[in-house]
Amino acid sequence: MWGCVISRFSRISARNLFTMRLKTTEFQSLFTEGLKGLAGLFEKHQYELRIAGGAVRDLLSGKRPEDVDFATTATPEQMKSLFQAAGIRMINNKGEKHGTITARLHNENFEVTTLRVDVQTDGRHAEVEFTMDWQKDAERRDLTINSMFLGLDGTLYDYFKGYEDLQNHRVRFVGSPEQRIQEDFLRILRYFRFYGRVALKPDEHEPETLAAIKEHGQGLAFISGERIWVELKKIVVGNHAAHLLELIYKMELAQYIGLPPGGDVEGMKVVWQNSQHLSPKPITVLAALLRCPEEVEKMDIRLKMSREEKSLGLFLVKHRRDLCRREKQPDALRPFTDFIIDSRDPDCQSKVCELLKYQGEDKLLSELSCWSNPRFPLSGHDLRKIGITSGKEIGTTLQTLRDIWKKSHYKMDKDELLSHVKL
Ligand SMILES: Nc1ccn([C@@H]2O[C@H](COP(=O)(O)OP(=O)(O)OP(=O)(O)O)[C@@H](O)[C@H]2O)c(=O)n1
Ligand SMILES: [Mg+2]
C-alpha cells in the first residue's frame, strides 16, 4: 500500500523536515471546483495553504478523509479581507478566536486555520498565538501521525516522523506525552482511538506513553461528557477495543469517563469477541460492563448519551438473560419474534438484533434481520362488531386470540381467529 503513494521523496536535514510527493487518487479527488478556487486565491495573495492533521494521515493511509482541515500562514484578518475582496461568503465563525475562518466556495465549506502555538492551556481550552512557522504548529499537535501537512502540489511536510510511524503502525505523542496530555486531557482517549486505528497488535504501547496516561488520567474528570462519549464510541468500534477497554480499567481511568467501577471486563471481552464481526453499536459492547440498569443511568448522567443509546443500554441489561435461545425450542427465533410482537416499542426489532449480536447469535441475527413484523389482524372494533361489548371481555378475548395467533406462527387471518370466539 505504501509504495503506491510516493513518487519522489527527499530528506531535508534542516529541522528534521521530511518531504515527499503524494499523488494518489484520493488526493486528486479532493480537487473540487471549490478547492481549486480556494487554492487560487491563496496563491494569488502569496499565502501558503496546506492540508493539515487528520486528513493528511488518512490520505497517507490510502483513505479519503471525511473532513479536511487547512492551515495557512495568513492571519484571520488577512483571510477575512481576502475573502471579502473576492466576494466569498464566510460562515458565522465561532472558531475565529482560535484562528479558524470558514469560507464557502461552490457550495462547499472550507475551514482554514492560521498557524498557531498554544501559549496557555488548562487541559481543556487553549489561548493561542499566531505564527508563520509550520514546525511550531506541528509541535502543538497531539500525535506524530496527526502532525503532518500536505501542500496542494502533493508535498508532504513531516517534522516528527509521522509518516514513518504510520508505516510502522506506531502511535506516539509529539515530543513529551506528559506535556501533550496536560494541554488537553481528551488526548488520552484520542491516543487509544488512534491506537485502535493504526496498531497491528494489542498491547504494544510505549511505556513512556502509558506512564504519562497513568499520571494524568484524573484530568479526564474535567472533560465534558459529550467529548468523552464521542471518543469512547470510536474506541469501541475500532480494532483492539476489548484490550483498550481492559487497559482503561487497569489504568484506573474508567471512573473518570462514566464507566462503572468494577465493570465486568471479562464479560465484556466475551461479548466483544462474539460480536465484533457483526458491527455492534458501541453501547452494545459497553453494556457488557454494566451490571444493572442503575449503572446505565449513571453512565448516561456523565456521558449524555442519546435517548436511543440509553434506551438500548437499558434494554440489553434488562433482557440479556431472560431473552435468549432456549435449549428445547425447535424454532429458535420464536422467543425473539414473540417478544417483538408483544412489545409496544417501535424500535424493538432493532434492539433485539443488538441483543443477538451481544449473545453472538450470528444465524438468528441474519434470520431476524430479514423477518418482517406481522400485524395482528384483529382489533377491539372487530370484537364489538360480533357483539362483545364489555371492555374487560374485549381485552381478555384479544389476549387469548393473540396467543392463538402466535402459536399459528402469525399465520391465522381475521376470520380464522374470530372462529375461535365463543359467543
Ligand atoms: N485534542 C486534539 C484534537 C485535535 N488535534 C489536532 O487537530 C487535528 C484535527 O482534529 P480532529 O479533526 O478533531 O481529529 P482528526 O485527527 O482529524 O481525526 P478525525 O478523523 O476523527 O477527524 C488533529 O489531527 C490534530 O493534529 C490535537 O492536536 N489535539
Ligand atoms: Mg478531522
Q: Give 341-385 pLDDT, tens digit per residue.
A: 989 899 999 999 999 999 999 999 999 999 998 989 999 999 999
C-beta atoms surrounding 216 within 10 Å: 19
Query: Does residue 241 sit within a domain?
Result: no
Does position 254 have pLDDT exceeding 50, yes or no? yes
Does position 72 have pLDDT exceeding 70, yes or no? yes
Mean pLDDT for all residues in the chain: 93
Among protein residues, the one with the nearest Cα to ligand 1's atom 8 is 53
Q: Which cell is 89 given?
A: 461568503
Residue in 58, 125, 139, 141 to alter for ligand 1 test, most ligand atoms within 8 A of Cβ? 141
Does position 112 have pLDDT exceeding 80, yes or no? yes
- Name the domain count of the chain: 2
**Closest ligand 1 atom to the C-alpha of 184?**
1
Among 280, 283, 279, CA closest to 296: 283
pLDDT band at 10 (very low <50, low <70, confident <90, very high): very low
Among protein residues, the one with the nearest Cα to ligand 1's atom 17 is 54
Cross-strand partners of 117: 129
Which of 168, 200, 226 marks a domain boundary?
Answer: 168
pLDDT band at 99 (very low <50, low <70, confident <90, very high): very high
CA count, 13 A, side-chain hemisphere, 393: 11
Which of 110, 138, 168 marks a domain boundary?
Answer: 168
Query: Does residue 414 sit within a domain?
Result: yes
Angstrom distance (rounded) from CA 110 to CA 34: 8
**Closest ligand 1 atom to the C-alpha of 147?**
26
Does position 11 have pLDDT exceeding 70, yes or no? no
Taking only the tens place, the pLDDT of each residue in 208-243 is: 999 999 999 999 999 999 999 999 999 999 999 999
Among protein residues, the one with the nearest Cα to ligand 1's atom 20 is 54
Does position 323 have pLDDT exceeding 70, yes or no? yes
Q: What is the pLDDT of residue 326?
A: 86
Among 136, 233, 137, CA closest to 192: 233
Nearest ligand to the C-alpha atom of residue 124: 1
Angstrom distance (rounded) from CA 43 to CA 51: 14
Concatenated DSSP letters of 273-290 = HHHGGG---HHHHHHTT-
> Which has more confidence, 6 or 418?
418
pLDDT band at 125 (very low <50, low <70, confident <90, very high): confident
Mean pLDDT of 145-163: 97
Q: What separation in Å is there between the alpha carbon of 30 and the centre of ligand 2? A: 15
pLDDT band at 15 (very low <50, low <70, confident <90, very high): low
- CB 159, CB 175: distance < 8 Å: no
Helix (H) or strand (E) holding 267: helix 265-275
- CATH of residue 120's domain is 3.30.460.10
Mean pLDDT of 256-276: 97
Query: Does residue 285 sit within a domain?
Result: no
Find the residues whose C-beta lies inside 6 A of ligand 1: 53-54, 67, 69, 141-142, 146-147, 184, 186-187, 190
Nearest ligand to the C-alpha atom of residue 68: 2
Among protein residues, the one with the nearest Cα to ligand 1's atom 14 is 54
**Closest ligand 1 atom to the C-alpha of 234?**
21
Nearest ligand to the C-alpha atom of residue 145: 1
Q: What is the pLDDT of residue 171?
A: 98
Residue in 146, 227, 228 to alter for ligand 1 test, most ligand atoms within 8 A of Cβ? 146
Cross-strand partners of 151: 50
Angstrom distance (rounded) from CA 248 to CA 240: 12
Does position 1 have pLDDT exceeding 60, yes or no? no
3-state class (DSSP) for residue 4? helix
Q: Which residues surround ligand 2, an ion (CB under 5 A)?
A: 54, 67
Q: What separation in Å is there between the alpha carbon of 395 and the centre of ligand 1? A: 58
Does position 13 have pLDDT exceeding 60, yes or no? no
Give the domain extent around 16.
1-168
**Closest ligand 1 atom to the C-alpha of 187?**
1
Among protein residues, the one with the nearest Cα to ligand 1's atom 21 is 54
Mean pLDDT of 249-260: 98
Query: Does residue 304 sit within a domain?
Result: no
Among 329, 352, 356, CA closest to 342: 352
Q: What separation in Å is there between the alpha carbon of 110 and the centre of ligand 1? A: 16
pLDDT band at 330 (very low <50, low <70, confident <90, very high): confident
Nearest ligand to the C-alpha atom of residue 194: 1
Question: The complex's ipTM?
Answer: 0.99
% of the chain residues with pLDDT over 70: 96
Does position 131 have pLDDT exceeding 80, yes or no? yes
**Closest ligand 1 atom to the C-alpha of 58?**
20
Query: Does residue 94 sit within a domain?
Result: yes
CA count, 13 A, side-chain hemisphere, 377: 13
Which of 168, 203, 227 marks a domain boundary?
Answer: 168
- Tell me the whole-structure pTM to 2 decimals: 0.90
Taking only the tens place, the pLDDT of each residue in 29-44 is: 999 999 999 999 999 9
**Closest ligand 1 atom to the C-alpha of 190?**
1
Residue in 135, 142, 179, 192 to alter for ligand 1 test, most ligand atoms within 8 A of Cβ? 142
pLDDT band at 412 (very low <50, low <70, confident <90, very high): very high
Mean pLDDT of 103-129: 91
Angstrom distance (rounded) from CA 188 to CA 7: 35
Query: Does residue 1 sit within a domain?
Result: yes
Q: What is the pLDDT of residue 409?
A: 87
Q: How far is CA 166 from CA 98, 194, 230, in A?
A: 28, 10, 23
Q: What is the pLDDT of residue 240?
A: 98
- CB 320, CB 355: distance < 8 Å: yes
Count of positions (residues) in the chain: 423
- CB 397, CB 382: distance < 8 Å: no
3-state class (DSSP) for residue 214? helix
Query: Does residue 174 sit within a domain?
Result: no
Taking only the tens place, the pLDDT of each residue in 165-176 is: 999 999 999 999
Q: What is the pLDDT of residue 7?
A: 43
Residue 394 burial by Cβ neighbours in a 10 Å radius (0-12, 13-18, 19+): middle
Mean pLDDT of 261-283: 97
**Closest ligand 1 atom to the C-alpha of 65?**
20
Query: Does residue 262 sit within a domain?
Result: no
Q: What is the pLDDT of residue 422?
A: 80
Q: How far is CA 309 from CA 246, 274, 284, 312, in A?
A: 22, 20, 9, 5
3-state class (DSSP) for residue 186? coil
Nearest ligand to the C-alpha atom of residue 146: 1
Mean pLDDT of 109-129: 89
CA-derived radius of gyration, the chain: 28
